[in-house]
Amino acid sequence: MPLYEYRCTDCNTEFEELVNASQADDKRHAPRCPKCKSEKTVRILSAATVRSSSAGPGGLGSLGSMGGGCAPSGGFS
């Protein structure tokens, strides 16, 4: 299950929640705020983290460090 970030529209608390991917956009299955218990929560966008063998010991890096693309291995001319 993916980890999503949410914000409570009542108390402005931001929190993370493991949510079934098929229910992530379904308003009927939005998680309750852990602080005020409100059901008025919205999913917010967060920065993506990807696993890359070139990112070092932890294997985590930003999308920009992945390299690759459509260019031949010799680079652009």
Q: What is the pLDDT of residues 16-30, one digit of tens each?
A: 998 887 776 677 778
Residue identified by tokens 């608390």 is 13
DSSP state of 18: E
Per-domain residue ranges of the chain: 1-46
pLDDT score, position 65: 47
Confidence of residue 11 (pLDDT cuts 50, 70, 90): very high
Q: Are 48 and 60 in contact (CB under 8 A)?
A: no
Average pLDDT, the chain: 74
Residues 75, 6: Cα–Cα separation, whole Å:
41
pTM summary value: 0.55
Q: Are 65 and 43 in contact (CB under 8 A)?
A: no
Residues 23, 30: Cα–Cα separation, whole Å:
8
CATH number for the domain whose boundaries are 1-46: 2.20.28
